[in-house]
C-alpha cells in the first residue's frame, strides 16, 4: 500500500468518527429526517471529495445551514419539496463554477481566515466540554451562540454542564484522552508501520465502548443510553433507501422553492469557499486549491443530494481540520470517510449506538485545540494591529453569532483597516526574451490586489525566469508577502526560477538587501 493511501486510510477513520454524530445532529437541528443527514454525509465523502478543488477538504451537511434548512422546510411545505430546492441550488452552483465565480475566494483577508479557524477551535472546545461531562441537551454539531435545542447559549450551557455532570461520562472522557495522548506518543516511536497506521481516536472509541459496556459493571455503574450515539433506526440502509427519489417535484410551481435554492446556493458557496481557503492555510504543503472546481464539486454533490433526499452539502471546516490533523495527504481520506459512513450504517448500526458521546467530544476538543493554540495569538499580535484587530474581532463575532455573520463582521473591520492604511495599488508584469518576466510593484499593495497578483504568478509558464521588483518606498500587506513566499516555495516544482530584486533602501524587509 502506498504511503499516502495508508495515511489517508488512517485519517479517514478519524474523520468518520467526527462526521457520523455531526451528520445525525445537523439533521436533527434542521428538523429533517435523520437519514437525510447520512445521505448528505455519504455523498459529501464519495462525490465531493472526488471532484473537490482541494486535496484535503471534507464535505457534508453543515451546521451553519441548519437554521436555513429548518425555515426552508416550513416555507416550501415539506422536506420532500425542500429537496427540490437543494437540487436546484446544485445546478446554480455548477453555473457559478462555469462563470468563474470562485474568484470571490481570493478576496478573504488572511487575518479573517486565521480568526475564523481559531474561532472554530474555541467553539469546538466550548461546545464539546458539556458533552464530555454528560450534558447532551444540544446536538454535537451545534456552532451557534444561541441554541434553539435547549434555550441555552454557549456560555450558559458550559456553566450548567459542571452543575449536572455525569461521573461515568467524565471517566470515559478522561480515559479516552489518556488513550489518545499515550498512543500518539507511543506509536510515533515505533518502527513498525502497523502501529503508526492505527488511529488513536479509534482506540479511544474502542476503550470507551468496552469501559461503558463491561468495565462499569464491576463497580455497579452504568452509562445511560442518552449519553450514547443516537442512531434511531436499526435496519441498515433501509431507512436511507426510503429517502431516494422521494422529492416532491410539484414544488417547481412555487416561487418559494426558487428563492430557497438561490439562498442555499449563495450561502453554501460562501461557506465552501471559506472552508477551502482555510484548508489551504492549514495544509502542510500549502497548495492552492481551485475554487471554481470546488464550486463544481459542491454543485454536483448538492444536485445529487437533492435527488436522493439528502441535506444541502458544503465543504466543512471541522471535518477538514480533523482530516488535516489526522495526517491525511490526499483526497482519498475524504472518499474513504464517505465509504465508512455507508458501510457502518449498512452493516453495524447497532454497534454504533454503543459509542459514548463523551469519547467523540474528546476527539473534537483535541481538534479544536490544534486550531487555537496560544502561540497563534502571540504570532498574530506580533504582526501589528492591522492584522490582530480583524483577527480578534472575527473570533469574537463568530463566538457571539455564527460562522457567516462573524466572518462578515471580520471582513468589514479588515476593510476599514485597509482603507485607513492604503490607497489604490498597481503592479505590472512584462515579458522579455527567453521566457524572462519582470513583475514590478508600482505602489503600495494590499490584500485587495491579492487576486491580481495570484493571476500574474499563475500565468508564468514552466521554465520561466521571473524577477520581482518591490521598489523602494512601497509597503506590502502581509497577505501579499505570504502569496509571494508560497510562490517562491513552490516555484521549483514548476521549473520556475525566481529572482528577488533587493535594495538597502527598500521599506519592506522582504525586498531589503
Q: Which domains does the chain have, with CATH numbers?
A: 3-117+145-158+226-352 (no CATH), 372-421 (no CATH), 427-501 (3.30.750)
Choose among 427, 401, 77: nearest CA to 254.
Answer: 77
309: left (phi over 0), alpha (psi -120 to 50) or beta: left
Indicate the pTM of the whole model. 0.80
Query: 153: which DSSP letter?
Result: B
**Across the strands, what pairs with 468?**
439, 500
What is the three-class DSSP state of 424? coil
Contacts of 255 (CB under 8 A, 6+ apart): none
| Residue 510 burial (CB count, 10 A) | 15
Q: Note the helical H segments in 133-235.
A: 154-161, 167-188, 193-197, 200-213
How many distinct helices (H) and strands (E) make up the chain? Answer: 22, 6
Each of the 513 residues of the chain gets a pLDDT tens digit; together they read: 455 788 899 999 999 999 999 998 899 888 898 889 999 999 999 999 999 989 999 999 988 888 899 999 999 999 999 999 999 999 999 999 999 988 888 888 888 999 999 999 999 999 999 999 999 888 887 788 888 777 788 899 999 988 888 999 999 999 999 999 998 887 766 655 556 677 889 999 999 999 998 888 777 788 888 888 887 665 666 666 776 777 889 999 999 999 999 999 999 999 999 999 899 888 888 788 899 999 999 999 999 999 999 999 999 999 999 999 888 999 999 999 999 999 988 888 888 888 999 999 999 999 999 999 999 999 999 988 888 999 999 999 999 988 888 999 998 998 888 766 655 556 889 998 888 999 999 888 877 788 889 989 999 999 999 999 988 888 888 889 999 999 999 999 889 999 999 988 888 889 987
CA dist 103 and 269 (Å) reads 12
Amino acid at each position: 500500500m502506498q504511503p499516502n493511501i495508508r495515511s489517508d486510510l488512517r485519517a479517514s477513520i478519524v474523520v468518520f468518527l467526527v462526521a457520523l454524530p455531526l451528520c445525525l445532529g445537523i439533521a436533527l437541528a434542521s428538523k429533517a429526517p435523520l437519514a437525510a443527514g447520512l445521505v448528505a454525509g455519504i455523498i459529501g465523502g464519495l462525490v465531493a471529495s472526488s471532484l473537490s478543488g482541494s486535496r484535503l477538504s471534507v464535505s457534508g451537511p453543515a451546521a451553519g445551514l441548519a437554521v436555513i434548512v429548518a425555515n426552508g422546510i416550513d416555507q416550501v411545505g415539506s422536506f420532500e419539496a425542500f429537496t427540490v430546492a437543494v437540487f436546484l441550488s446544485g445546478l446554480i452552483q455548477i453555473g457559478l463554477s462555469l462563470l468563474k465565480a470562485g474568484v470571490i475566494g481570493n478576496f478573504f483577508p488572511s487575518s479573517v481566515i486565521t480568526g475564523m479557524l481559531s474561532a472554530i477551535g474555541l467553539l469546538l472546545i466550548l461546545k464539546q466540554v458539556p458533552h464530555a461531562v454528560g450534558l447532551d441537551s444540544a446536538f454535537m454539531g451545534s456552532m451557534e451562540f444561541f441554541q434553539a435545542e435547549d434555550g441555552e447559549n454557549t456560555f450558559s450551557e458550559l456553566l450548567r454542564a459542571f452543575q449536572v455532570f455525569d461521573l461515568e461520562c467524565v471517566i470515559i472522557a478522561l480515559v479516552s484522552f489518556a488513550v489518545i495522548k499515550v498512543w500518539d506518543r507511543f506509536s510515533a516511536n515505533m518502527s513498525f508501520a502497523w502501529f503508526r497506521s492505527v488511529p488513536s481516536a479509534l482506540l479511544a472509541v474502542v476503550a470507551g465502548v468496552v469501559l461503558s459496556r463491561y468495565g462499569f459493571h464491576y463497580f455497579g455503574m452504568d452509562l445511560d443510553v442518552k449519553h450514547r450515539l443516537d442512531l434511531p433506526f436499526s435496519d441498515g440502509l433501509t431507512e436511507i433507501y426510503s429517502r431516494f427519489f422521494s422529492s416532491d417535484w410539484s414544488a417547481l410551481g412555487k416561487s418559494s422553492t426558487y428563492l430557497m435554492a438561490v439562498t442555499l446556493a449563495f450561502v453554501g458557496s460562501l461557506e465552501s469557499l471559506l472552508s477551502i481557503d482555510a484548508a489551504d492555510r492549514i495544509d502542510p504543503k500549502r497548495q492552492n486549491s481551485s475554487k471554481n472546481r470546488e464550486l463544481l464539486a459542491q454543485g454536483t454533490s448538492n444536485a445529487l443530494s437533492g435527488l436522493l433526499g439528502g441535506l444541502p452539502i458544503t465543504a466543512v471546516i471541522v471535518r477538514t481540520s480533523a482530516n488535516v490533523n489526522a495526517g491525511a495527504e490526499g483526497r482519498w481520506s475524504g472518499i474513504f470517510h464517505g465509504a465508512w459512513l455507508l458501510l457502518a450504517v449498512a452493516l453495524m448500526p447497532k454497534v454504533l449506538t454503543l459509542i459514548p458521546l463523551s469519547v467523540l467530544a474528546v476527539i473534537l476538543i483535541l481538534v479544536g485545540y490544534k486550531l487555537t493554540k496560544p502561540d497563534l495569538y502571540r504570532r498574530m499580535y506580533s504582526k501589528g494591529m492591522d492584522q490582530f484587530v480583524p483577527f480578534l474581532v472575527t473570533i469574537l463575532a463568530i463566538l457571539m453569532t455564527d460562522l457567516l455573520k462573524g466572518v462578515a463582521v471580520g471582513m468589514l473591520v479588515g476593510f476599514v483597516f485597509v482603507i485607513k492604511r492604503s490607497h489604490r495599488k498597481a503592479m505590472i508584469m512584462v515579458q522579455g526574451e527567453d521566457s524572462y518576466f519582470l513583475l514590478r510593484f508600482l505602489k503600495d499593495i494590499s490584500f485587495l490586489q491579492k487576486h491580481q497578483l495570484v493571476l500574474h504568478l499563475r500565468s508564468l509558464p514552466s521554465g520561466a525566469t521571473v524577477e520581482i521588483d518591490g521598489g523602494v518606498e512601497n509597503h506590502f500587506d502581509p497577505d501579499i508577502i505570504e502569496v509571494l513566499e508560497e510562490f517562491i516555495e513552490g516555484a521549483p516544482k514548476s521549473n520556475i526560477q525566481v529572482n528577488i530584486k533587493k535594495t538597502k533602501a527598500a521599506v519592506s524587509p522582504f525586498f531589503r538587501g
